[in-house]
Amino acid sequence: MSVRPVFSASRLIALCAALALSHAALAAETNAAKRQPASAKTAKASAKAPAKSVRSVVRKPAALPAVPTFGQLYGLHAADDPLALKSSVALVVDQESDEVLFSKNPQAVLPIASITKLMTALVVVEAGLPLDEKLTIGREDIDTEKNTRSRLQPGTVLTREEMLHLALMASENRAANALGRHYPGGLQAFVEAMNAKAAALGMADTHYVEPTGLSSSNQSSAQDLARLVQAASEVPLLRDFSTSRQARVALGKRLVQFRSTNGLIGSPLWDIGLQKTGFINEAGKCLVMQARVAGRKLIMVLLDSSGKASRIADAERVRKWLSTQVLQQPSNS
């Protein structure tokens, strides 16, 4: 079932406002409970009990509910699928025949988090910029939107090739932003190039505002991302860097090891040619891959997955289903 959510800005604002009000109400209720005087019985018991006992019964205020993803706000998780995926959006396409093997809300436009870095890397490589040129991490590369951490401190000098590697394999945000800043014309020109490339690939539902994916305004659909994976998988360097399990990089006098964000890399059950993971609260867990399953090259897109390891579990569920029930049949090509 394919569903394209059409929500007006006013409705989305209303949803967010309602969520904010619920958070405020819960916080107010918690604060009010703290200010209430103890009953006479409780006060008498407290007076007799030692200080340690009093502290042991103090309860922490209830945690505020998690911020919903855009997919949850749009109601996409209500869509049924035969595999009961935790991802609200999914698409599996035969790379050679373009046959759609699995589809769930493929036209829904959602934040794509660090899947953005695939386009970042593609634009950098196609620009023909020297890979051995040394680039410097600056304070402007520090994430002030989500306050994510990084081992690439301002002043760190790496080659463009090393930054590409870290951006794709370890999803390094500062490396991705530095790649954009060092593009001819600067960051604004780089973002314009990202959007121009998306248009050239026919990604009509895609829009970028920065090169890392930390902004929820970087949005796309599963159909568009399949086109991006197709284009990126044709570049050997992007295939190699995105499927690296780990890499050691010299940061000053230290040799620091970075690892892949995708737990499926290196699994004997998978033959992955290209991949990228992504996560911000608004996007949920995301994963795109080009992989060979049962002898056929496939493109997989999983967006807005709920749960810490759910995108990996969804990918495994799709692989098993394809291997045992779908790809045993001859291709239509």
What is the structure's pLDDT at 244?
Answer: 97
Phi-psi region of 99 (alpha: psi -120 to 50; beta: other; left: phi over 0): beta
pLDDT tens per residue, range 173-224: 999 999 999 999 999 999 999 999 999 999 999 999 999 999 999 999 999 9
What is the structure's pLDDT at 326?
Answer: 74
Which one, of 242, 30, 19, 208, lies nearest residue 125 by Cα?
242
DSSP structure class, residue 291: E
For 117-140, letters b (16+ CB in 10 Å) and e give: bbbbbbbbbeeebeeeeebebeee
Q: State the residue for tokens 């958070």.
A: 23
Banded model confidence at residue 151, pLDDT cuts 50, 70, 90: very high
Choice among 87, 88, 103, 114 that is catalytic: 114
pLDDT tens per residue, range 64-94: 457 899 999 999 999 999 999 999 999 999 9
Residue with more model confidence, 258 or 28: 258
Please state, in angstroms and rounded to a whole number, the distance separating the CA atoms of residues 27 and 30: 5
Which one, of 308, 270, 304, lies nearest residue 290 by Cα?
270
Tell me the mean pLDDT in the region 25-34.
Answer: 42
Give me the phi and psi of 82, to 5 degrees please.
-65, -15
Counting residues of the chain whose pLDDT is more than 90, the rounded percentage is: 75
Catalytic site includes residue 114: yes
Is 0.85 topped by the overall pTM? Answer: no
What is the structure's pLDDT at 329?
Answer: 59
Helices 186-200/173-181 angle, 10° precision = 100
pLDDT tens per residue, range 283-302: 999 999 999 999 999 999 99
Please state, in angstroms and rounded to a whole number, the distance separating the CA atoms of residues 275 and 289: 4
Element (H, E) at 96: none
In the three-class reduction of DSSP (H, G, I as helix; E, B as strand; rest coil), residue 19 is classed as helix
Q: Above 70 in pLDDT, residue 39?
A: no
Choice among 88, 103, 171, 260 that is catalytic: 171
Please state, in angstroms and rounded to a whole number, the distance separating the CA atoms of residues 289 and 315: 9
pLDDT tens per residue, range 92-109: 999 999 999 999 999 999
Element (H, E) at 180: helix 173-181
For residue 299, count other CB atoms closer than 10 A to its CB.
25
For residue 209, count other CB atoms closer than 10 A to its CB.
14
pLDDT tens per residue, range 4-21: 444 444 444 444 444 444
Please state, in angstroms and rounded to a whole number, the distance separating the CA atoms of residues 166 and 184: 21
Residues written for the chain: 333
What is the structure's pLDDT at 65?
Answer: 54
pLDDT tens per residue, range 232-279: 999 999 999 999 999 999 998 899 999 999 999 999 999 999 999 999
Choice among 117, 197, 276, 285 that is catalytic: 117
Catalytic site includes residue 117: yes
Mean pLDDT of the chain: 85
Tell me the mean pLDDT in the region 137-154.
Answer: 96
